[in-house]
Structure 1
């Protein structure tokens, strides 16, 4: 009885995002009320079926309370940011570091969760659960499970004409059934990989070598790959955005590629994918784990280093030298650039010479590849992503409750985070120019994914890729080449400028970096090298 009442309580109190979405899709109440009733019954049966496994008399009250808390928290974020609880979103939540988690907390969240949890907690605490013998209790639990499944199947069959096209055309609805979606996605996240991938690491470095340009080099190459965070291509002035968000890059003769799409809509999906040789389709269907771009570069004999101002490299940098940008900072730098353990990206340029000097000298003599992983425009606390002196657009949204801010304030605070990235990239280019006496430097910047800023009622990112808006997939990519690197790789600027509107994806990054660094390896595909056609021209 507790499980049945609890299931009904969760349906009525923690599924408002689902009802709102059904109303939005259905139009007039007469059109969608039957669907709401059907989905309510399916959600009730699904919750009862799952909770039937907890219908025991001992030690279940804390578990029931945890389910209510989970459902309440999930509802808050679905209402606040229009996210859905698919396995990718659960993975993002589990990999969120304390700083990111702190940015997501608010008094509004505490209130919304308390409104749902406190009545349920009082009832769960007060109810008396009578003990029963094991076999009768097991029989009742199995009966509840079978009854729930039978009613759900009957409802689905009876309403198939309405539900089948609705669910087929709106796949995200299945991930809005609370708490079913969260429990299912969490289970899928941990169970599916056991059947899909072997767990072994496949080496791809055999046959890797440095190309002919290294034989007679006077200076080794120095290539900085900046992995951006949550940047939208359509908010870069370089790409035609009306606001001047990229003044520093515009001064430095960079090339901005305007039609680049990401591998995923979140960091966990995109970063491992963009450094993989497999491409999006191959990466998502792989049965084994593979070495990555940085492994190939290191196997070629180059000095490779990953510097992170984010919540980790998602496994990409495990086999190469790496460090957190926060590590080893002096007190003055922390005070100037950091808020707790969260720092502006400028911090990555501090002590950068010393970090590179610590790499093996024999590798540095061949060449250096430095990957810098930004904090960038990570939301929802966008106001933390820019320094006071770069806040060009005011007033800002100064809360993580984005729905409380007007559209203009939200645009201002997000655009200021892009201005901060612009300054950081400008400073990175200036640092590279200062290395020109001992290196041939170059830089490639590309964001991991985009961001929704209220379009279609969506905020943040992480919507499943198949129906995510373009704002979460259209990302900026910017390159800068010194004269030395251009001559070294015989790059034609006019050719590169002619290709700025060519359609590219994260699939191109692996092969483009290998091409720029002149690393030969069996996994390199010239057709996916965005600059291959512009070498040895002019």
Structure 2
């Protein structure tokens, strides 16, 4: 008798699991529903009441497909553990696990992953992941003989479909209209959207036949006219997680660009990123494809801007203090900073970006004998541990947020911490320019800086980045892009700096400009170059 009380039928287990998923893991979804309700002039509350019921019926039907002996427990344990992490990311940070976020997660290194480990995440995983997984493991499931079990399952699934049909009969138009007006809802349904994105990622990356590699720009030629006997030396600084609205150059009311102001920077206004995560944006910005046509699989199978520059004989080097170049620099000389290389600047997990300056010094000490591009990939403003991105001496804005569970910091603390990262990145850029100025006797020098994507800091309940591009807020898409050209570089490369400053103020730029702009800046001629996308072409002195 006691055993019967403890036992659950397969259908009971399925229904209980569905209820748990709907009323725990889908709390963020109901937040989106609430926002949708608030936007409507008239609300049919009977329709709204059917949404959780519809979800219970739909998940029960889907879960029934996997509620079979020998598969039931391992399947639901794994899915529950995954769903716990997806739920926490959506609830605390507003992060959605779509294909791009799955790709970004897979490419995240262990040090970066540890920054998300805090008391809030551990407690959530324990209560909504480990505990339910343990209960699933211990559950006493009473399986019936195969034919009877199948009959009960089909009856259960038929009942779920009937319930869905009844709701659809009365409220189909409501669901269509509400879903169309709140398209992001589907991305918050746990576990279907995240699991679907994972399956798509695995299919694309492990089960599709690799594309034939496409070499681009083999006709590339360096057309630099060496009038003064000095080569061009350009440093490209690729920032991390910097958003434009916290830059003084774009009207921000705090001195976050105090270090570079003396260098007459050229700030390109209204610049948009290609993606909202490094794994998407970095390959995209160096690709010959524009964002609208960008395909990650194709990008991996063709030359990048770095490769085309290499075909033209430009000396190239990529110095990385972030999570790697995501394939962009694979075929050119590159160095990933050893996280134990400098006891003053590194802690074994991360290094301050100043370590890149030391590497740049080593490179410049070797001398520059030909046209050269050096890329510095900085860790910049990577969260959530913003406070670990700047040394104590650069902690200018206080009080700041000295913790990784940033959602528990005050708005003032969080903004101050993030602004400190922007100011420190500005210091790094200023130091790069200072070093380029010191090279004036040996080379004509220039610097270009841009970020890979922006960041949400609690606006509309969203934190961090990685939102699907279609629904991503401005904070995650609008990025800074800055240029500095020495007078000698501008003169020898026939660029009118005042014209460029006026052009930059006009706005309307994006990562799409980088590919041809790098080729143009290095005076490389090739069929894959597009003059209309070159930031500098408009201001070339004829």
In structure 2, what is the equivalent of residue 314 of structure 1? Answer: 326
Offset of 1:525 from its aligned partner? 0.8
Offset of 1:63 from its aligned partner? 2.9
**Contact 2:307–2:331, Cα closer than 8 Å, also in 1:** yes
Which residue of 15, 28, 32 maps to 1:4? 15
Kindly tell me the number of residue pairs found equivalent between the two proteins: 528
In structure 2, what is the equivalent of residue 380 of structure 1? Answer: 384
In structure 2, what is the equivalent of residue 431 of structure 1? Answer: 435
* 2:355 match: secondary structure: helix
Offset of 1:480 from its aligned partner? 0.9
In structure 1, what is the equivalent of residue 288 of structure 2? Answer: 277
Residues of 2 paired with 1:119 and 1:530: CA distance? 55
**Contact 1:326–1:341, Cα closer than 8 Å, also in 2:** no
Q: Is the alpha carbon distance of 1:133 and 1:237 closer, same or farther for their aligned partners in structure 2, counting shifts above 3 Å?
A: same
- Is residue 236 from structure 1 mapped to residue 247 from structure 2 by the alignment? yes
In structure 1, what is the equivalent of residue 7 of structure 2? Answer: none
In structure 1, what is the equivalent of residue 186 of structure 2? Answer: 174
Offset of 1:239 from its aligned partner? 2.1
Which has the higher mean CA deviation after the structures are superposed, 133-142 or 496-505?
133-142
- Is residue 52 from structure 1 mapped to residue 64 from structure 2 by the alignment? yes
Offset of 1:367 from its aligned partner? 1.5
In structure 2, what is the equivalent of residue 520 of structure 1? Answer: 525
Which residue of 191, 195, 209 maps to 2:221? 209
In structure 2, what is the equivalent of residue 338 of structure 1? Answer: 346
Residues of 2 paired with 1:153 and 1:441: CA distance? 68
Residues of 2 paired with 1:484 and 1:39: CA distance? 65
Offset of 1:487 from its aligned partner? 1.7
**Contact 2:241–2:453, Cα closer than 8 Å, also in 1:** yes
In structure 2, what is the equivalent of residue 371 of structure 1? Answer: 375
**Contact 2:321–2:379, Cα closer than 8 Å, also in 1:** yes
TM-score for both structures, normalised by structure 2:
0.90
Consecutive unaligned residues in structure 1, runs of 5 or more: none
Which has the higher mean CA deviation after the structures are superposed, 517-526 or 245-254?
245-254
**Contact 1:446–1:475, Cα closer than 8 Å, also in 2:** yes
Offset of 1:44 from its aligned partner? 2.6
Q: Is the alpha carbon distance of 1:427 and 1:168 closer, same or farther for their aligned partners in structure 2, counting shifts above 3 Å?
A: same
**Contact 1:450–1:473, Cα closer than 8 Å, also in 2:** yes
Which residue of 375, 394, 401 maps to 1:397? 401
Instruction: Please give the per-residue CA displacement for 1:149-176, whole angstroms capped at 9, x wherever unaligned.
Output: 6654654454222211221122211011
Offset of 1:284 from its aligned partner? 3.9
**Contact 2:286–2:328, Cα closer than 8 Å, also in 1:** yes
Q: Is the alpha carbon distance of 1:37 and 1:415 closer, same or farther for their aligned partners in structure 2, counting shifts above 3 Å?
A: same
In structure 1, what is the equivalent of residue 268 of structure 2? Answer: 257
Which has the higher mean CA deviation after the structures are superposed, 252-261 or 124-133?
124-133
**Contact 1:263–1:270, Cα closer than 8 Å, also in 2:** yes
Offset of 1:300 from its aligned partner? 0.7
Residues of 2 paired with 1:151 and 1:293: CA distance? 55
- Is residue 352 from structure 1 mapped to residue 360 from structure 2 by the alignment? yes
Offset of 1:369 from its aligned partner? 0.9
Which has the higher mean CA deviation after the structures are superposed, 521-530 or 22-31?
22-31
* 2:313 match: secondary structure: coil
* 2:82 match: secondary structure: helix
Q: Is the alpha carbon distance of 1:28 and 1:257 closer, same or farther for their aligned partners in structure 2, counting shifts above 3 Å?
A: closer
- Is residue 494 from structure 1 mapped to residue 498 from structure 2 by the alignment? yes
Offset of 1:60 from its aligned partner? 3.8
**Contact 1:57–1:129, Cα closer than 8 Å, also in 2:** no
**Contact 1:245–1:422, Cα closer than 8 Å, also in 2:** yes
Residues of 2 paired with 1:48 and 1:259: CA distance? 47
Instruction: Please give the per-residue CA displacement for 1:79-101, whole angstroms capped at 9, x wherever unaligned.
Output: 11112222222222222211221
Which residue of 459, 462, 468 maps to 2:466? 462
Consecutive unaligned residues in structure 2, runs of 5 or more: 1-10
- Is residue 160 from structure 1 mapped to residue 172 from structure 2 by the alignment? yes
Instruction: Please give the per-residue CA displacement for 1:504-537, whole angstroms capped at 9, x wherever unaligned.
Output: 1111111111111000110111111111121116
Residues of 2 paired with 1:83 and 1:291: CA distance? 32
**Contact 1:84–1:172, Cα closer than 8 Å, also in 2:** no
Which residue of 420, 423, 442 maps to 1:419? 423
